[in-house]
């Protein structure tokens, strides 16, 4: 479905306006990158980390028949609603982002593979590049906890807590020790029963063919 959509924070009433040729796929991409803490929009990502997934809603503002009109309609809604989460004020273009002369110089030198010292930074430099926020002070920091594997090896691994889901690293990146909800267990049982039923039916058809 070709549409103009909105990602809204229902706590602060701030929102993001976007356009997509396939709205369902674009929504999936947004959710995937936000949950993995690597969304291209830093303002939206920071708000997501602060308020959580439950504070955001996706909705369609306008359905567009021709994909050639998507950018035009997106620009109309950006100008009309003035969304706070849109960094680029021009639809389909990064022209809305304004960089300072100092930032442009650092980007130019960075493309030349120069270190911070080679770019002219001193040991006691107080710029945001040398003193960027790391760890828990980083606005994109996600809480982590140490857990023990329940397979019997008793090894520990780090579990990254993101919204209501837990993404597990360590122990060869296995899912051992991951706690599933009761609904997930029931869905897994249903899928296994369907597979077994289909296998039995296929075996039955094969036996009939052999008899004939």
Q: Are strands 3-9 and 56-63 parallel, antiparallel or unpaired?
A: antiparallel
The more confidently predicted of residues 86 and 162 is 86
The structure's pTM equals 0.48
Give alpha helix (H) positions in the chain. Answer: 23-35, 42-51, 70-81, 101-110, 182-211
Structural domains in the chain plus CATH codes: 3-96 (3.40.1440.10), 99-141 (no CATH), 142-173 (no CATH)
User: Residue 165's pLDDT is what?
Assistant: 45
Q: Collapse the DSSP code of 41 into the 3-class scheme (helix H, G, I; strand E, B; otherwise coil) and give the result.
A: coil
If pLDDT is split at 50, 70 and 90, which confidence band does 106 have?
confident
Rounded CA-CA distance 76/155 in Å is 55
Are 188 and 175 a contacting pair, CB within 8 Å? no
Q: What is the pLDDT of residues 21-59, one digit of tens each?
A: 889 999 999 999 899 888 888 889 999 998 988 999 999
Q: What is the pLDDT of residues 178-204, one digit of tens each?
A: 667 788 888 888 888 888 787 777 766
DSSP, res 55: G
């Amino acid at each position: 479905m070709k549409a103009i959509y909105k990602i809204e924070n229902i706590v602060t009433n701030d929102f993001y306006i976007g356009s997509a040729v396939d709205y369902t796929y674009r929504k999936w991409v947004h959710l995937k990158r936000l949950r993995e803490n690597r969304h291209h929009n830093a303002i939206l990502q920071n708000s997501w980390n602060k308020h959580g997934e439950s504070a955001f809603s996706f909705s369609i503002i306008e359905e567009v028949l021709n994909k050639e009109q998507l950018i035009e309609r997106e620009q109309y809604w950006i100008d009309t609603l003035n969304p706070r989460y849109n960094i680029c004020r021009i639809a389909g273009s990064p022209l809305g982002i304004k960089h300072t002369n100092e930032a442009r110089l650092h980007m130019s030198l960075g493309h030349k593979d120069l270190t911070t010292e080679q770019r002219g930074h001193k040991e006691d430099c107080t710029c945001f590049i040398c003193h960027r926020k790391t760890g828990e002070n980083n606005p994109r920091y996600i809480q982590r906890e140490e857990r023990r594997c329940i397979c019997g090896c008793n090894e520990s691994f780090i579990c990254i807590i993101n919204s209501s889901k837990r993404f597990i690293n360590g122990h060869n990146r296995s899912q051992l020790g991951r706690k599933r909800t009761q609904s997930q267990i029931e869905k897994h049982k249903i899928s296994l029963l369907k597979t077994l039923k289909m296998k039995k039916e296929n075996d039955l058809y094969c036996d009939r063919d052999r008899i004939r």
